[in-house]
Amino acid sequence: MDLRERISTATKQAMRDKASQRLSTLRLINAAFKDRDIAARADGNDGGVGEPELLAILAKMVKQRRESVRTYEEGGRLDLAEAELAEIAVIEEFLPKPLSDAEAEAAVDAAVDEIGASSIRDMGRVMGVLKTRYQGRMDFGAAGTMVKNRLSAAG
């Protein structure tokens, strides 16, 4: 079952269960997907967006909510932080299992070897390979640091 079908099924189940918070989050996900589909159509892509791009949307939604949680906690608004954490939990159900640190290191090594990267100038190409293969499963901020360290050591 693809990602859109899983979210649609979860939305219907949340309606049946009268789980308003969950339903609200699932509707936000659907709205984000539809917005991206509309933008893709404007760019001439009538087929909509693919699963990797949908996973990127979900990852971005999680990142935004984590930033909001931090802001709310600093401002003493724990009620709002808890609501954001609940949304994160729902969104993360649809993301693939994240790579462990060891798996991420191995993925970086494999990408560097595959491209034959030898200096920091190759970092963009390595990151491109990683983003293609591990969208939604890898923290690319941390991966960038790993790639930079690996290429600095190599160069």
| CATH number for the domain harbouring residue 113 | 1.10.10.410
Contacts of 3 (CB under 8 A, 6+ apart): 51, 54, 55, 94
Q: Supply the range of the domain harboring residue 54.
A: 3-92
Please give the model's pTM, rounded to 2 decimal places.
Answer: 0.73
On whether the CB atoms of residues 107 and 99 are closer than 8 A, the answer is: yes
pLDDT digits (tens, 9 = 90+) for 112-124: 888 888 888 888 8
* Residues 75 and 9 grouped into a single domain: yes
Tokens of 32: 């984000």
Q: What is the CATH number of the domain that holds 54?
A: 1.10.1510.10
pLDDT digits (tens, 9 = 90+) for 63-113: 899 999 999 999 999 999 999 999 999 999 998 888 888 888 888 888 888
pLDDT of residue 17: 96
